[in-house]
Chain A
Amino acid sequence: MNVITVKNLTISYHKKPAIKGVNLNIAPGSVIGIIGPNGAGKSTLLKGMLGLLPFDTGEIKIFGDDINKSRKRISYIPQREQFDWDFPINVEDVVMMGRFAHLPIVGFPKAGDKKIVNQVLQKVEMDKYSKRQIRQLSGGQQQRVFLARALAQESDIYFLDEPFVGVDAKTERAIFGLMQELKNNGKTLLVVHHDLSMVKDYFDKLILINQTLIAYGDSEDVFTPELINKTYGGRLTMLQKTEELVS
């Protein structure tokens, strides 16, 4: 069964369509990159699938049903710059938010939730910093904390928005390792990515998008000069870059 089905999806901002008529069938157990130039609607597609944006036309099914029926099974790792890093919160409390999806409306975290939080913090090697306020972390460490939060949610689908931006080598390895591990456990990962380097290493499948869906398929098949060129609208510098990369 498909994890996500998108049918004829159109989403507009101020009457200008950001994405048009997108159709997708996403099977479980893969790491999928969403690739396209700036303003191509990558984040819009992601937020649309998450049910965060109203759409003009189309239909989205998660596990064959309305997204509201599977909210617990979805986690989202937003871009780092959208947070107020001075917020009075420490690493442990951020990760605990991942458990909120599983708690009743009026309910407090239990010992089991705390155990999960500790486990995922160890997994991303951030357990040493559990009491640190989030401003007092490096960019890579911050990214790992939000990764841990998504892991603590124990979901089946992970949406990541530009997770590799501004992180150190160690964090990049950590993110990559976790993506592989999650995939091997049958989870589905959708990752917005703006850079064309490493694309083939990171992702099994690619969604190439520039307002409309250009291509969707195995990285091997769709990461071709023609399709990349089509996605990036034939911008010269990009073209040269990509030809270098694909050759």
Chain B
Amino acid sequence: MDILSKYLLEPVQYEFIQRALIASVTIGISCGLIGTYIMLRRMSLIGDALAHAVLPGVVVSFMVAGKSEAALFIGAVVSGILTVLLIGFVNRNSKIKEDTSIGIIFTGAFALGILLVSQLKQVHIDLSSYLFGDVLGVSTGDITLSMIIMFVIILCIVLFYKQLLLTSFDPTMAMTIGISTTLVHYMLMTLLSMSIVAGLQSVGVILIIAMLITPPATAYLLSSNLKKILLLSAMFGTISAITGLYLSYHFNFASGASIVLVAVVLFMLAFLFSPKEGVVTKLFRRRSASKFVLIEDVIKLSYRFKDEPGKTELVDKIANELGISNSRVEGVIKTLLGKDLMRRTNGSYVLTDEGIKYALRLVRTHRLWETYITNKNVVDIEHIHPEAEKLEHVLTEDMVDELDEELGFPEKDPHGSEIPRK
């Protein structure tokens, strides 16, 4: 408890930490939401470009209006939109492809920003806080601005959810029903510039792209539902920003870098352990799938060798057929006994009624599948068997019935063996 309060609660008494916390939540949400669309529309390059290209706008607003949040906001959004327009203009009016024109324009704009800063003797701009972020230096004005930005972003996503969805997934259909893809694009670009402005002070221009794409990518690995991805992405953005803030406070790390590293750690965890897509999860699933296949094979073979006199002969035959050790077969049989698919009888193992039903279903699937691939001329007859073997374990009962129907309820498989009916 002491440690908890020392590390987590103690800092909150400071006003600058409170401001930093609010700023973290707002950039986590703003960037996480807009970033989801940036990721789905494969626009991360333009996201990075805009982040850099707002710099000259920020500097010019300083020269004109001093440190004013409103001016900063206008300067950044205007230079962001100008950059997008310029990239599009170069793109349309030359054979230069989009990625190249993005590269040219944004580095140019960024260089212009740096040049302006170096010439600004009379006004002091802390360039490094714009480049690398300083979440602990967030002012009340910054917070007001980023809160307004967050609400505008949430509002636009809620109101124009269907336009954003349709233009992201199927722009052609969007055009046929009269939704302007260009208008939606520029709306998104404006919101993107705004979310960059919100994150500027905390994360900095160089790393803010990470806040735009890493939390959405993490969420995308965990869900295939857009609304859930939006929520998860905002959540991961917020967690990263708050954790990064604490790291920055306790260890004096650059805040942008620590926020981004937390986001990347979250991404790696999802990448490895996501229930559906995780690399490690898939490894385990493959192992349990092969165990499942083994169980089904043992059931089928127990049925085929049901007339063997004793358990040693039965286990021997099965082990031989599958090319595995006797003890492994016995292990599987033990599982089957536990599931009441097999039972012990004087000196041997036999399938229970339930087990026989299971075995017949497997045989039916196997033979129907074989018939199907022969009919479709998929492979020639001598290669069929192993192929059918592989797939019979993944076919669902519905699919098997559909196969049966499509084949016209055949009685025999290509080898002439009878196909058990349901």
Contact = CB atoms under 8 A, between A and B. Distances in A.
A88 B226 contact: yes
B252 interface: no
Contact of B169 (A68, A87, A133): A87
A89 B177 contact: no
Interface in A103-137: 103, 105-106, 108, 133, 135
Interface of A: 50-52, 68, 71-72, 74-76, 78, 82-84, 86-90, 93-94, 97, 100-101, 103, 105-106, 108, 133, 135, 153, 169-170
Interface of B: 40, 159-163, 165-166, 168-170, 172-173, 175-179, 220, 223-226, 229, 406
B339 to A, nearest CB: 29
Contacts of A135: 224
Contacts of B226: 88-89, 93
Given A100-B166, A103-B162, A76 B172 contact: yes
A86 B169 CA distance: 10
State the majority secondary structure of interface residues on B: helix
Contacts of A108: 161-162
Nearest to B173: A76
Contact of B220 (A82, A88, A97, A169): A88
A75 B224 contact: no
Given A88-B223, A88-B224, A106-B160, A52 B172 contact: yes
A100 B164 CA distance: 12
A87 B42 CA distance: 11
Nearest to B176: A76
Contacts of B172: 52, 76, 78, 82
7 contacts: A51-B176, A52-B172, A76-B173, A88-B220, A88-B229, A100-B166, A100-B179
Contacts, number: 69
Listed residue (B161, B162, B166) with the most chain A CB atoms within 10 angstroms of its CB: B162
A84 B179 CA distance: 20
Contacts of B166: 97, 100
Given A83-B170, A97-B170, A100-B162, A133 B176 contact: no
B380 to A, nearest CB: 22
Contact of B177 (A88, A100, A133): A100
A18 B164 CA distance: 32
B170 A68 contact: no
A172 to B, nearest CB: 12
B173 A52 contact: no
Contacts of A103: 162
A74 B170 contact: no
B43 to A, nearest CB: 13
Nearest to B178: A71
Contacts of A83: 169-170
Contacts of B220: 88
Contacts of A94: 169
Contacts of A76: 172-173, 176
**The 3 A-B residue pairs with the shortest CB-CB distance in the complex, in nearest-first order:** A71-B178, A101-B177, A133-B224
B169 A84 contact: yes
A88 B159 CA distance: 20
A33 to B, nearest CB: 20
B177 A71 contact: yes
Nearest to B172: A78
Listed residue (A72, A75, A106) with the most chain B CB atoms within 10 angstroms of its CB: A106
Given A71-B176, A88-B40, 11 more contacts: A51-B175, A68-B178, A74-B176, A84-B169, A88-B225, A88-B229, A89-B169, A97-B173, A106-B159, A108-B161, A108-B162
Given A106-B159, A133-B224, A78 B178 contact: no
A50 B171 CA distance: 13
Contacts of B162: 97, 100, 103, 108
B402 to A, nearest CB: 8
A51 B165 CA distance: 21
A78 B225 CA distance: 23
Contacts of A84: 40, 169
Contact of B40 (A50, A87, A93, A153): A87
Nearest to A74: B176
A147 to B, nearest CB: 13
A135 B276 CA distance: 13
